[in-house]
Chains A and B, each alone.
Chain A
Amino acid sequence: MQINGPTMRLFAIALGFLALAAAHDAQAQAYRVVVNEANATTSLPSADVALIFTKKKTTWPSGAPIVPVDLTATSATRSAFSQELLHKDMNAIKLYWQQQMFAGRSNPPDEKASDAAVIAFVKENAGAIGYVSADAVTAGVRVLTVR
């Protein structure tokens, strides 16, 4: 079978799209957002997740307080989560919380050192929401779909 120039170009473009899709998928899978199993929420818009982790949205639809929990600032998972959902790098995040806490507005979420610590915190707190790396064991918590 002969493969002519236009077919090759088409093939290359298709491969490019596949590579992009794979890259996007890999990025989307860098973290998973988790809540307590007692929480009825199964999915959240990405904008709501951003509002929750900047404490601009502080209550669940039931009226219960939302308790976000972060990974520590050096975590690659946090970096990916912040870039993709909060649209801020870690310097901007730190600056945002300095402005909030020293203005007397709100304090940053608690930080946990590992996925296991985040999972344990979310298990113990009915209103908690956190994020963990894609390969973390999430038994005992609910993984949310972020739309």
Chain B
Amino acid sequence: MQRLLVIFALTLATANGVVAQTITQNLQIHGFADWGVGHSSGGTYEYGSKRGTANDGTFALVLSATPAPRVAMFTQLGFDGVGHHVTEPKLDIVFAQYQLSDRLKLNVGRVKQPFGEYSEIFDVGTAHNMLMLPHGVYDVSGTMGEVYNGVGFTGGIFSASRWGLLYDGYVGNVAVTTLRPWQDTEERSRLMHEVLGGRTVVETPISELSFGVSAFTGHIEDSHDGTLSERHSVFGAQLDWATTRFGLRSEVTRQQEPDVHETAAYIEGTARFAKNWQLSARWDASRASGIELANAAPALARHTDAAVGLNYWITTGFVLRAEFHDVAGNRFIAPLQAVDLGKRTRVLQFGSQFSF
């Protein structure tokens, strides 16, 4: 944690305050971070744990450059601090983009996977409505990865009447982090090959109303012999609406493998009731089924989280959040003891998120 703070302090010093800095017109530095603490009545969930430790934090540094007309490059270095341990910097993304036109830009490298509302801003807390993302869609259910390694395109078509069509497509491989508590208690990183995916979003002239669909499919590499085996396919739909005071966002996803299916959905709303204060609420659920779960305890296959929160926005890049979560099911919360399986877990947590 100390090392994380030193890195962060150095970055801020370099960046001359909490503002985006342009070193030259062609190189920009941005970053985002979060920290939180919480108490859980059961197993660890988000920032909440039985003992309420206050050490978890993440930080990422984002560099972008435009070394030539039509060419842009993006890099993101990530750091995680959990307890006394701070990870080595990891290369979250690094890719180059060539812009043929506004309608077609080509990406090559390790690119954020375009899926749904949040996959490209997975850890950017100030772009979220609550401390962490909805677990059914975005946690270790294995629904999607954070990046694809390969080539892709992105672009948009816009009309004078303020309609817009945004689209992305990609091929490559994707690593998905998966926790299947009916199999074991450890998360596994599974590599998907021959991935083909895309997303389309329609922007409407109605105040910040947009909707879209995402999908991708690929083969999962067998961790024992390296052969390509199961096909993993995911479909999703999204809806987003916002005004100056209110916001509403919802997604539903369905992931399919031969022996496991999982459906997840969430709806979250926000209401700003003073200049800096905002209420947030979310209902988030998932259900897993399939042959693989034939003998699993039902609690391990389901998840429901009803949450409310209060946010105080010091600036648009710095927010303090306090939240209460009431969670049913053990899909994402390991019970402390076997007898706790199926019991509700309640989490009270506080955190801070910032970006520059």
Contact A99 B158, beta carbon cutoff 8 Å = no
Query: Which of A21-29, A35-43, A53-61, A129-137 faces chain B?
Result: A53-61
CA–CA, A45 and B160, complex, Å: 8
The contact of A102 among B30, B102, B208, B313, by CB within 8 Å, is B30
Count contacts on A: residues with CB < 8 A to the other chain: 30
Report the nearest B residue to A54, measured CB to CB: B158
Jot down 20 A-B pairs with beta carbons below 8 A, ordered by A.
Answer: A47-B159, A47-B160, A47-B162, A51-B158, A56-B156, A57-B102, A59-B101, A87-B162, A92-B244, A98-B355, A99-B127, A101-B20, A102-B30, A102-B32, A102-B124, A102-B127, A103-B114, A104-B76, A104-B93, A107-B28
Check: B112 CB closer than 8 A to any chain A CB.
yes
- Set A88, A103, A108: member contacting B121, Cβ < 8 A: A103
Residues of B within 8 A of A45 (CB): 160
Residue of A nearest to B155 (CB): A56
**Hey, what's the 0/1 contact readout for A100-120 against B, CB within 8 Å counting as 1?**
011111111010000000000
Kindly report which residue of chain A lies nearest to residue B208, judged by CB atoms: A92
Considering only residues 88-129 of chain B, those with a C-beta below 8 Å from chain A are 93, 95, 97, 99, 101-102, 111-112, 114, 120-121, 124, 126-127
- Contact partner of A56 (CB less than 8 A), chosen from B72, B124, B158, B244, is B158
B154 to chain A, nearest CB (A): 7
**Leading 6 A-B pairs by shortest Cβ distance:** A103-B120, A94-B316, A104-B74, A47-B160, A102-B124, A98-B127
A106 to B65, CA, bound (A): 10
Q: Is A95 an interface residue (CB 8 A)?
A: yes
Secondary structure of the B contact surface, majority rule: strand
Task: Tell yes or no: B242 within 8 A of A by CB.
Answer: yes
Residue on A with the closest CB to B19? A111
- CB pair B316–A101 under 8 Å, yes or no, is no
What is the count of residue pairs linking A and B with beta-carbon distances less than 8 angstroms? 85
A107's partner among B64, B99, B355 (CB-CB below 8 A) is B64
| Closest A residue, CB atoms, query B127 | A98
Q: Does A91 interact with chain B (Cβ within 8 Å)?
A: yes
Residues of A within 8 A of B (CB): 45, 47-48, 50-51, 56-59, 65, 73, 87-92, 94-95, 98-99, 101-108, 110
The answer to whether the Cβ of B17 comes within 8 Å of any Cβ in the partner chain is no
Known contacts A56-B158, A87-B207; is-contact A104 B317 (Cβ 8 Å):
no
Distance between Cα atoms of A59 and B22 in the complex (Å): 22
A104 touches B127 (CB 8 A): no
CA distance A58 to B25 in the complex (A): 16
Of B32, B101, B112, B207, the contact of A104 (CB 8 Å cutoff): B112
Chain B residues with CB under 8 Å of A106's CB are: 72
Chain A residues positioned under 8 Å from B112 (CB to CB): 103-104
A104 in contact with B25 given A45-B160, A58-B99, A98-B126 (CB within 8 Å): no
Residues of chain A with a CB closer than 8 A to B114's CB:
103
Residue of B nearest to A47 (CB): B160
Q: Given contacts A103-B112, A104-B93, A104-B111, is CB(A91)–CB(B316) below 8 Å? A: yes
How long is the Cα–Cα vector from A59 to B101 in the complex, in angstroms?
8
B62 at the binding interface (Cβ < 8 Å): yes
Does residue B69 face the partner (Cβ distance < 8 Å to A)?
Answer: yes
Q: Which residue of B lies closest to A64 (CB)?
A: B69
- What B residues does A58 contact at CB under 8 A? 99, 102
Q: Which residue of A lies closest to B123 (CB)?
A: A102
List chain B residues, Cβ under 8 A from A47.
158-162
The CA of A104 and the CA of B155, in the complex, are separated in Å by 13
Tell whether, in the assembled complex, residue A108 and residue B20 are in contact, meaning their CB atoms are under 8 Å apart.
yes
Contact between B102 and A105, CB atoms less than 8 A apart: no
Beyond A104-B111, A105-B154, A110-B22, 5 additional contacts (C-beta under 8 Å) are A56-B158, A98-B124, A98-B127, A104-B74, A104-B97
